[in-house]
Amino acid sequence: MTTTTEPVAASPTLASIPQRRVKVGLVAGGLGAYWPQFPDLLPQLQRSAARVSEKMHALGADVVDVGFISDAQEGAAAAEKLRVAGCDIIVGFLTTYMTATMLLPIAQRSDAPVLLINLQPTEAMDHATFDTGQWLAYCGACPLPEMANAFTRCGIPFRSVSGYLEDERAWARIARWVKAAGVRAVLRRGRHGLMGHLYPGMLDVSTDLTMVPANFGGHMEVVEFDDLRVRVNAATDEQVRAKMAQAREIFAVNESVVDEDFQWAARVAVGLDRLVEDFELDSLAYYHRGLEGELHERLGAGMILGASLLTARGIPAAGEYELRTSLAMLIMDRLGAGGSFTEFQALNFFDNVVEMGHDGPAHLAISDGKPLLRGLGVYHGKRGWGVSVEFDVKHGPVTAFGVGQTRDGRYTFLASEGSVVAGPLLQIGNTTSRVDFGCDPGEWTDAWSASGVGHHWALGTGHRVNELRAVAELLDVEFRELRV
């Protein structure tokens, strides 16, 4: 199964928002009774701990390294340092045998997920030459069941990775947990905007705003279309011209685009940038119907360009008031997958693909080619007119990912891996991708619809099920992978 681990990049003409680095609390330890018995052991284990710290830094993390602990008293001191540091994840390096009481206070006080790692010095011992002291350097697995039992009895979730110091497989799993902790931190600290009102009749989209902080943490900011209106009105002609120039660099502008509509979309985009900045938003979901061409209708119809530019910069914007999908797009973006606003369009039983996309915000950084701006005289099912984005997600492995909501209000993660393949696409100002899920498209559609996903989801690059499963575990959210 292919996994894309490299993050997507915004267009060279788009400045990605600064992203907070994940903060890793690192503590290594072993049983102090060994040090006088085996004088060479502690220096060897400390070298291993230094190597782990170095590789943690290489993952792009800010590492709070509290050093090497040898007894429960040192463990308690380390626990206080890590509590104050406010880490996103605590990594306990089991270098050799150590007692559970050395790490338990750290896990109890940190208010962060715990990852236990057991990385012996090399792939295997040299059995013919090793003495007891040399063996003990390979004995990190010994305390792992003890830690697991103690943590379980104390009600502390944990996860573990076993391997050796330079084991790429083990470090890939460690990196997955570190990345998942970063996503958890984004959600816990995030500010999520909701602007306008529900698309009439879309009951699946409706959600209790309290459920966001209840499930993920973070803050819900309810903003008005009038908050956008005053910022659009304040946009200068110079700012609008600059935004149009930026759009011409990023998009191929189709001849159907009316210059007046292009200028309006650019003006709305300038206002959106200011709105997001003023309210410090990490994501935005919006919709407004409007009437008879009045200003709020024109604002709602003018959102697609600016919302797509924001999404490509790492501030996902979803239409149709789709809060849970804007959150899904944020999660996918922070995993490096992009995440574009998506729904069903049609099924192709000749080619065995599901055609999916939307007439709204696209994640431009995952476009297979230069995205197109197309002029539309009407948006299907919506009021207004203007410009829309047309593109295809990069061909290759992709993951469909949605956030569902159960009857009792809990959120669920729903994901399915497939591949975007080449073929004919609609040319109607929509994002459209042909996704092969390796099965009959009708069966996949029935199973995906029955999963509880709702009307929309995020489509991102790479096979991301393992990463999403890790995020779900750290958030204590149910995870369902769809395989047909």
pLDDT digits (tens, 9 = 90+) for 47-95: 999 999 999 999 999 999 999 999 999 999 999 999 999 999 999 999 9
Nearest CA to 383 among 272, 286, 292? 292
pLDDT of residue 4: 39
Strands 457-461, 396-405: pairing is antiparallel
pTM above 0.85, yes or no: yes
Tokens 């149709």, residue located: 320
pLDDT in tens, 86-130: 999 999 999 999 999 999 999 999 989 999 999 999 999 999 999
Residues 367 and 239 in one domain: yes
pLDDT in tens, 231-279: 999 999 999 999 999 999 999 999 999 999 999 999 999 999 999 999 9
| Pair of tokens at residue 460 | 């991102």
Confidence band of 9 (pLDDT split at 50, 70, 90): low
Whether residue 343 lies inside any domain: the answer is: yes
What is the residue-averaged pLDDT of the chain? Answer: 93
Strands 338-348, 478-481: pairing is unpaired
Of 157, 187, 217, the residue that ends a domain is 187
Residues 93 and 113 in one domain: yes
Give the type of residue at 346: A
Confidence band of 385 (pLDDT split at 50, 70, 90): confident
pLDDT of residue 10: 55
- The total of other beta-carbon atoms located within 10 Å of residue 259's CB is 10
If one counts the domains in the chain, the total is 2
Which domain, by its residues, includes 149? 23-187
pLDDT in tens, 22-43: 999 999 999 999 999 999 999 9
Residues 233 and 159 in one domain: no
Residues 238 and 354 in one domain: yes
Of 135, 156, 187, the residue that ends a domain is 187
Of 168, 187, 206, the residue that ends a domain is 187
Residues 161 and 222 in one domain: no
Confidence band of 384 (pLDDT split at 50, 70, 90): low
pLDDT, greater one: 429 or 212: 212
For the residues 279-293, what does the mean pLDDT come to? 92
Would the pLDDT of 8 be above 60?
no
Whether residue 5 lies inside any domain: the answer is: no
